Structure 1
Amino acid sequence: MSYGITRTLLKKIKYHGGETLVNGEQSLVNRMLQTGDTVKVVLPPEPENDHVSVSSVPIEIVHEDPNFLVVNKPAGVASVPSHNYSEDSLVNRVKGYYQRRGYANEKIHIVTRLDKDTSGLVIFAKHHFAHSVLDKQLKDRTIQKTYLAIVAGRISSPHFEIYLPIGRTEDSFVKRQVTDTGKMSVTEAWTVCRLAKQTLLRVQLHTGRTHQIRVHMDTIGHPLIGDWLYNPDDHSMARQALHCAEMTFYDPFADRNIHCEARLPEDMRSYINLHKL
């Protein structure tokens, strides 16, 4: 078992100042282990992301321990820096938080991402090993993410699943669509409450395609409220009504599941109160 230690990490340990100890003695990484051996890995120091600017805007921390940081991202903030958002993405804000706290390792490892106008939980790993562990969980689809979404129309079914392939549209780098040439995508949803002409849904993703919830809901005739890309005629909210409300992942360092929740943001709560029956 690798316990999440990848070949890339082993190379960094070997060539950049880390150590591999077996029963307290320095050892090569190809050593054959015996039953009862104790292995200790000393990670090398990680250089900070020099190209990432520091933002002084505070972050809302939902969970923090020596290995992981979970943040509640507000709508309107990009997850990572880009040409248009180079100074104040969530990554910039986390780097500022690390500096203010005086952390020895200020390398930013973002594990999960949200669209700029989607609010909610985002996981950061505090070192390469923790990042490798969660990358594997992402690939194995064992990180559970639950969203709350307000969609157009009143949905009568209390529970439904959508199995439709998603791929790029031919005329847009950003937009996605349901297409036979796309990758199969699975979305499961439960009706939380019905509003006057809308529905609040609890949504769980079983695959992780770009814009998956937005595309699937639009395809079945219930696009997200305020979604400029898939519901452009609706301006009743300033952004798509989508929030990552819960997340559960496994922490192998503490041998426990970590469950995080982020309450519905004010704009979505206000919309629900305004459109109640």
Structure 2
Amino acid sequence: MNNTPLTYTAGAQDENTFLRDLLASKLLLSHSLVVRLKHQNKIQVNGQLVHTNYRLQAGDFVTINIDLSEENNIIPESIPLDIVYEDEDFVAVNKPAGMSIHPSRLGGTGTLANAVTYHWQGLGRNILFRPINRLDKDTSGLVLIGKSQFAHQGIFNQLKQHKIDRRYIALVERALTRDHGHIDQPIARPDANKRRRIVHPAGQAATTHYQVLDRYPDHTLLSLKLETGRTHQIRVHLSYIGHPVSGDLLYGFASPLIKRQALHADRIRFTHPRSGKEVILDIPLAQDMQTAVDYLGNQSINR
């Protein structure tokens, strides 16, 4: 599955526009990507290689081959993948709990990066592993991965502008009284040698929106939406308001209902940078969380 080139036909409004300006304004390519494209002779107008200071004429046909030469140093490993979506620019995977996104050391194995690299190798591609969102090892759910610098950059721009909808489901301790709300508290890392984060005035701004899906006597099922993407953001914020994620040993305590933090990324919605169309990806709750929720529901009925 090779990348189809980006194309653009110049109109009367583009007359005498520098090609470099069109690449930034119409095709939304970053300066760093344009530099790499130039060095690898990937930019053409009417089938001919051109410099980016070329002045466009109406009717010019611009072609950008975004399939850049690059090397992925991740070790490919045959690990089962639950691929939810794939096109020439992205692959989305339902990551199981217990799997890290990326090796923590050179040559590491057993991660999503190893599995996806093996999958791409089977398609004849050796490209960098570029996860767009990252999940903790024991958080399950959707991970979106860009297949090129163009794809990653296009989504990263949407992330910066808060235009990507990332939704999570969490089972938390205790009954939350409010039906919905938001937690707007900065998050800091007090010790660079430790994983734990805290709410602190000197931290980075962070906002988490929540909606109650269901209540049980001692637990609440929440839908959460991130406005920012700080490390451990949901877990820190929910612990801060007194409702830690069930099973979260770092920010809460062990739970008899589940053997890991009960947090699952169930939706990603974004605008495709190539087509401009909206892409909505939804997946069901992870089985261990569904089992815990079903148990609590049955307990409530039988009370």
TM-score (norm 1): 0.93
- The Cα shift of 1:120 comes to 0.5
Aligned pairs for 1:225-244 within 5 A: 225-234=246-255, 236-244=257-265
Aligned to 1:245: 266
Match of 2:11 in 1: none
What is the CA distance between 1:133 and its match in structure 2? 1.0
Find the aligned partners of 1:199 and 1:259 in 2 and give their Cα distance: 26
CA pair 76-19 structure 1, distance change in 2 beyond 3 A: same
Distance (Å, rounded) in 2 between the aligned partners of 1:150 and 1:248 = 22
Q: Using structure 2 for the length normalisation, give the TM-score.
A: 0.85
Aligned residue runs from structure 1 range 12-51, under 5 A:
12-15=36-39, 17-34=40-57, 36-50=59-73
Show the counterpart of 2:114: 92
Structure-1 residue corresponding to 2:30: 6
**Which of 194, 203, 225 is the matching residue for 1:182?**
203
- Unpaired runs of at least 5, structure 1: none
AA in 1 matched with 2:244: P
Distance 1:232 1:172 in 2: 22
Cα distance, 1:235 vs. partner?
5.2
- Residue range with higher mean Cα deviation, 151-160 or 232-241: 232-241
One-letter amino acid matched to 2:56:
L
1:143 and 2:164 matched: yes
Label 1:85 to 1:106 Cα distance change in 2 as closer, same or farther (>3 A).
Answer: closer
| 8 A contact 1:110–1:123 mirrored in 2 | yes
- What are the Cα deviations for residues 54-88 of structure 1, in whole angstroms up to 9, with x where unaligned? 11012111111111111110000001111399211
Show the counterpart of 1:274: 295
- Is 1:18–1:41's contact at 8 Å kept on the other side of the alignment? no
Residue 194 (structure 1) shift = 0.6
CA distance in structure 1 between the partners assigned to 2:59 and 2:135 by the alignment: 43
Q: Tell me: CA distance 1:228–1:85, structure 2 relative to 1, closer, same or farther (3 Å).
A: farther
Choose between structure 1 and 2: higher strand proportion. Answer: 1
Q: 77-86 vs 200-209, which deviates more?
A: 77-86
State the Cα deviation string for residues 112-166 of structure 1 (Å, max 9, x = none): 1111001110111112211111121122221110000000001121111111111
Matches within 5 A, 1:105-124: 105-124=126-145
Q: Is the 8 A contact 1:18 1:43 kept in 2?
A: no
> Residue 165 of structure 1 aligns to which amino acid in structure 2?
P
The answer to whether the 8 A contact 1:58-1:97 is kept is no
For residues 191 and 108 of structure 2, the distance between their equivalents in structure 1, rounded to whole angstroms, comes to 28
CA distance in structure 2 between the aligned counterparts of 1:5 and 1:189, rounded to whole angstroms: 34
Is the CA contact (8 Å cut-off) linking 2:75 and 2:107 kept in structure 1?
no
CA distance in 2, matches of 1:129, 1:143: 17
Given that residues 105 and 127 in structure 1 are in contact (C-alpha distance below 8 angstroms), is that contact kept between their aligned partners in structure 2?
no
Q: Report how many aligned residue pairs link the two structures.
A: 274
Which stretch of the first structure deviates more once superposed, 102-111 or 207-216?
Answer: 102-111
Percent sequence identity over aligned pairs: 35
Larger radius of gyration: 2
CA–CA separation in structure 1 for the residues paired with 2:70 and 2:255 = 45
1:202 maps to 2:208: no
Partner of 1:75: 97
Matched residue type, 1:159:
H
User: How far did residue 36 of structure 1 move?
Assistant: 4.8
- Deviation track 1:90-125 (CA, whole Å, cap 9, x = no partner) reads 01000111122x333433222211110011101111
| Displacement after TM superposition at 1:229 (Å) | 0.3
